[in-house]
Chain A
Amino acid sequence: MNLLICTDGSQDSLQAAEFLRLLHLPPDMAATMLAVADSSRRAERLQACLSEMQQMLEAQGFHPERLLRRGHLSKEILEQAEAGHYDLVAIGAPERQGLMRNRLTSTASDLSDRLRAPLLIARHVPPRLGRVLICTSAERPARETMRRGGALVSLLGAPATLVHVMSQMALDVHSPQEDLILTAEQAIARGTQEGKHLVEATRWLREAGMAAEITPRLRHGLVVEEILGELEDPEFGLLVLGAHSAAGRGRLLEVLLDDITEQLIATSPCSVLVVWHDPQVHAADL
C-alpha cells in the first residue's frame, strides 16, 4: 500500500495524518507528504506544518518522504497522485461551515471528482472510531464502492452501517406504496429491489475483507438530509461514498446528475472516504 498525505500548511490539514492512526496500517508502508504553497509567503508556514505532520507520522511508525511544491493545490495533488500510483490520498478539512467554503473543502470536492485513487477527507478525527457509515446508491457503480471502500474500511476494524436512502414517492394513486415505508429488515425479508441490493452489498463488503458487524439500513426521505440525519449519531467517524463520476454513465449524464458527493463532503460532520469507479474494473464486472 502506498499513501499520499497532502497539506496546504493549515492546521486543519494535519487531520489527514491524525486519521491514519485509526487505520492500523503496517509501519513499513510507503508514505509521501506533499506540501503545496501558492505563494512564497506561505512557504515558511508550510515547512512548519510539514515538520509537525512528519512527527505525527513518525510517531505512528512511518518514514515519510517530503515533497514541497508551489502552485495550485488540487492541480499539484492530481499530478503527484497520477505519477505515484497511490492506494489512498488523504487531505484534511475543517469542520463544516454553512454556506462558506474553505479552500481545503473546495479542493476536496474538486479532487473527489477527478482523482482515481480513493480520497480520504479527514475532519473532526475522534480518538476512537466507533462506527462507519457506508452509503449505497443501489446503482451499478455501488459494487465497486463496496469492494474498494470495504477493503479500506476493513483496516479500521469498526462496525459499519450500510445505508440506502429512498426519496421516491408514488406518482399517482395506482403506484404501489408498500416499498416506500419498509425497514431494511422488512425489505430483505420480502425480497424487494432495495432489500436484495442490501443483501448483495453486504456480501461485497464481506468479500472485501470486512469482518466487523454490518447493519443494513433503509431510510426514507431526501437523500442528503437522511444521510446527515444518520450522521447525527456521534459514534460515526467516517462516511464512505461513491464518487460523482461513474464509469459507463457518459459525460453528459454526469453533467445532468446532481453531485450528492460534493454536497456531503461540504456538510458531513465527520471524515469522508470517496471511492472512484474504475472503468476497467467496471467493464470486467460486466
Chain B
Amino acid sequence: MGATSPRRAIRIAPIAVRLAYLLAALALFVLSLESLRLGARPLVPFIREKISIDNPVNALGFGWLFAMAVLSGSPVAATAMTFLDAGVLNGQEAQAMIVGSRLGASFVVLFLGLVYVIRGHRSESSLAAGVLSLLVTQTTYLPAAVVASFALSWGWTEGWGVGVLGSASSVLDRLLGPVTGLLNARVPSWGLFPLGLILLLLSFSVLDRSLPDLRRPGSRFGDLSHLLFRPAVTFALGAGITLISLSVTVSLSLLVPLSARGYIRKENAIPYIMGANVTTLVDTLFAAALLGSPLGISVVLTLMVGVCLVSLVILLVVFRPYVRLLVGLTNWIAGGRRNLVLFLGLLAAALITLILR
C-alpha cells in the first residue's frame, strides 16, 4: 500500500499540473474578453472612420492582417466577438473577420516556413503541408463565408444562439462584476484593448501547456503516415484532435512525432485539415457564450455549419478531382522559389485589395 501511493502521486501530478494550466488559461481568457469588450467601445470611431472597416470585405482583410500581426487566428476570432458585442462590427462583418483570421493564420504558417527556407535550412518542397493547409482553408472558408453570410442576412439562424446561452452568462456576469469594476477603475480606457489582447495571447499560450500528450508510441494515429484512410475517417480525426488542441497548426504538428519520418499521406491530410478547420472555431464559440452574445453564437455556429457543409459536399461529391486540383497546385507552388514568391505576392495583393475596398 505504501509503495503504491507515491506511484499514484507521480501519475496524478502531471494531470494536476495540466488542470491548473487549463484553469489559469480559462481565467485569463475570461479576463481578456472582459478587457477587450470594455476597450472595444472607444475604438468604434477609429475602426469605422479612421481605418474604414465598414463592410464584410474590409472586415475579412482586417481579420487576415490582424492574424498575421499577432501570428495566430484564434485571438483575432475572439476579438471579433468582442467587437460584435461592443457594436463595433455587425454580424456579417464579425463573421468575415473570423474568416479573415483563419486565412491569416494559415498564411502565417506558410510565411514563417518561407523565412526558414530563405535562410537556407530547407527546400521549398518542405512547405508543401503549409501550402496545402492554406489552399484547403481558402477553398472551404470562402464558399462557406458566402453561405453563412446569406444564412445570417436571411435570418435562418437567428434563434441558434439563444438556446445555447442558458444561465452560464448570468453566472459569469456575477463573477466578472468586481473584475469589470477593477479594470474600469485602474486601467485607462485606451489601455483596455491592448491589455485584453495581451491577456488573450497569454491565455492561448497557457492553454497549449494544458494539452494532453498525444505522442504515445504505438498510437494508431501514427498510421496516418502510410495507411490510406477513408476521407470521412481523417475528417473526423482532424475535427476531434483540433477540438482538444483548438488550433489547426498545433493539430497538424501533433502528427509529426506520431509518424516515423514526419510524413503524412496527401489523401489523408486534406480531409484532416478540413475537419480541423471546423472545430478550430470552438474557442470562438466559447468566447461568444462567455460574452453572453446570442448573435455572436449564431454568427460562429452559422460559419461552422457552413464550413462543415462545404467540406462534406467536397468529401462526398467531388473529393478525387478536388484532391487532384489541390495537390497539383501545391506541387506547382512548392516546386520552386519563384512560384512560391509569386503565390505569396498574389495573396498579399488580394489582402491589400480587401482592406482598401
Contacts and interface: CB of A to CB of B under 8 A. Distances in A.
Given A171-B252, A173-B117, A222 B327 contact: yes
A169 B230 CA distance: 18
A170 B253 contact: no
User: Which of B113, B259, B265 has the largest number of chain A CB atoms within 10 A?
Assistant: B265
A175 B263 contact: yes
A278 interface: no
A259 B232 CA distance: 13
Interface residues of B, number: 38
A177 B259 CA distance: 14
A15 B269 CA distance: 39
Given A175-B256, A177-B122, A180-B125, A169 B264 contact: yes
A177 B256 contact: no
A256 interface: yes
A26 interface: no
Contacts of A177: 122-123, 125-126
B126 A222 contact: no
B126 A173 contact: yes
Nearest to B227: A257
Contacts of A174: 122, 256, 262
B95 interface: no
B256 A258 contact: no
A145 to B, nearest CB: 16
A264 interface: no
Interface stretch (B3-11, B127-135, B346-354): B127-135
A170 B229 contact: no
Interface in B106-150: 113, 116-117, 121-123, 125-129, 132
A259 B121 CA distance: 38
B230 A170 contact: no
Given A171-B262, A173-B122, A173-B126, A223 B228 contact: yes
B324 interface: yes
Nearest to A221: B327
Contacts of A139: 226-227
A225 interface: yes
Nearest to B327: A222
Interface in A172-215: 172-177, 179-181
Contact of B116 (A173, A222, A225): A173
Contacts of A171: 129, 252-253, 255-256, 259, 262-264
A221 B323 CA distance: 11
Interface string A144-181: 00000000000000000000000111111111110111
Given A171-B256, A173-B113, 11 more contacts: A139-B227, A169-B266, A171-B252, A171-B263, A174-B122, A174-B262, A175-B263, A179-B261, A223-B228, A257-B228, A259-B230
Interface of A: 138-139, 167-177, 179-181, 221-225, 256-260
- Please provide the 3 A-B residue pairs with the shortest distance between their CB atoms, ordered closest to farther: A175-B262, A168-B263, A173-B126
